[in-house]
Amino acid sequence: LAEKVICFGELLLRLTAPGRELLLQSGRLDVHVGGAEANVAVGLARLGHGTAMVSRVPANALGDAATGALRRFGVDTGGVGIGEGRMGLYFLSPGAGLRPSDIVYDREGSAFALAGPDAWNWEALLDGADLLHLSGITPALGPRSAEAAKAAAAAAKARGVAISFDGNYRAQLWNKWDSDPAAILKELVGQADILFGNHRDISLLLGREFSGDGPERRREAAEAAFGAFPGLKLIASTARHVTDADTHRISARLDGREGWAQTEERVVAGIVDRIGAGDAFAAGILHGMLNGHDLNRTVHAGLALTCLKHSLPGDASLFAERDIEAFLAGELDVRR
């Protein structure tokens, strides 16, 4: 188990229509804390790792609630500062059957997005850290956030702290400002030890396509990435086929420089909440990596956590090691 994994990114509150209703069909909302990096922090904390969130929220009941929710699940929030700006929000109508889930983002002007690279004292925050986890959402939020992401990665690199980077490419965010996503992302991936992303993410980074399909294409893309980014040690990705909003099929893959591991495809039916499944996957992979497990065991932990996440309301995986084990052992009936 890690002593201290730092997750850096925006905290969001998710406001969800209950009971498979459309947003505000009736006047009720359920609130969960979210944000890609925060979900990883919670997921790892529940697996027993020491985790710490670095972010910024406004000085009001919303910021307070978001921070408290992380603390509840064991995440250290000493690095969550208070600053000018709003609480980032998003509104979700969960899908059902042939109706997809629908998200209305309302994150502009957030305290996190308004903070610049100097908002955090990385020297102190990184002290004793095992890993820094970042995602491609932070640099997409605007030039100040892009600088902040680069500053965080540079500080980690300088102190020899390993870096995990989840691509999470969001075109709409990048399109809102005069951005050069490929350049910025390349700089960040260039410092990473582990990358979460599939062949499409790598195409974007390297400006080339990968032909073929399935595992072969993924391996080809991985090898190209390993060539382009000498510090990169692992590339993790999932493949998802969507039957309808309630049933997906998912497999997971983990590429190392020397080899790879690929899981079977699992049918995930009866989906309760699909949001955060990618973050749960990241938590599962990092769990294996931090524990020094091999590629195969690690990729199955990632598959387990992403599959299990679909069964749970809220953005974050709340599962423990025993849940991963039960999943891998095929335990599906009532546990008494």
Which residues form the catalytic set? 279
- Write down the least CB distance from residue 23 to its own copies, Å: 4
Contact 279, 43 (CB under 8 A): yes
Residue 129 within binding range of its own copies, rule CB under 8 A: no
Residue 128 within binding range of its own copies, rule CB under 8 A: no
Q: Give the x-and-dash track for 253-292 against its own copies (CB under 8 A).
A: -------------xxxxxxx-xx-----------------
Residue 73 within binding range of its own copies, rule CB under 8 A: yes
- Contact stretch for its own copies (CB under 8 A) within 2-10, 101-109, 145-153, 182-190: 101-109
Nearer to its own copies, 33 or 40 (CB): 33
- Write down the least CB distance from residue 249 to its own copies, Å: 12
Q: Of 11, 69, 206, 301, which lies in the binding site for its own copies, with binding defined by CB under 8 A?
A: 69
Nearer to its own copies, 206 or 304 (CB): 304
Contact 237, 252 (CB under 8 A): yes
The site that binds its own copies (CB under 8 A) totals a number of residues, namely 82
- Residue 234 is encoded by which pair of tokens? 């692992």
Output the DSSP codes for 146-195. HHHHHHHHHHHHHHT-EEEEE----HHHHHTTT--HHHHHHHHHTT-SEE
- Write down the least CB distance from residue 66 to its own copies, Å: 8
- Write down the least CB distance from residue 29 to its own copies, Å: 4
- Write down the least CB distance from residue 224 to its own copies, Å: 26
Contact 310, 271 (CB under 8 A): yes
Q: How far apart are CA 137 and CA 146, in angstroms?
A: 9
Place of tokens 């049918």: 267
Q: Report angle CA 228, 138, 65 to the nearest 5 degrees.
A: 145
Which residues are CB-neighbours of 107 under 8 A, at least 6 positions away? 10, 12, 88, 89, 90, 113, 141
Q: How far apart are CA 75 and CA 64, in angstroms?
A: 14
What is each CA distance from 225 to 169, 180, 198, 272, in whole angstroms? 16, 19, 10, 35
Residue list 132-161, contact with its own copies (CB under 8 A)? none
Contact 157, 33 (CB under 8 A): no
Residue list 208-247, contact with its own copies (CB under 8 A)? 240, 242-247
Nearer to its own copies, 6 or 275 (CB): 275
> Element (H or E) spanning 88, and its range?
strand 88-93
Residue 328 within binding range of its own copies, rule CB under 8 A: no
- Contact stretch for its own copies (CB under 8 A) within 48-56, 142-150, 201-209, 313-321: 313-321
Nearer to its own copies, 16 or 298 (CB): 16
Residue 71 within binding range of its own copies, rule CB under 8 A: yes
Which residues are CB-neighbours of 240 under 8 A, at least 6 positions away? 248, 249, 250
- Contact stretch for its own copies (CB under 8 A) within 66-74, 112-120, 133-141, 199-207: 66-74
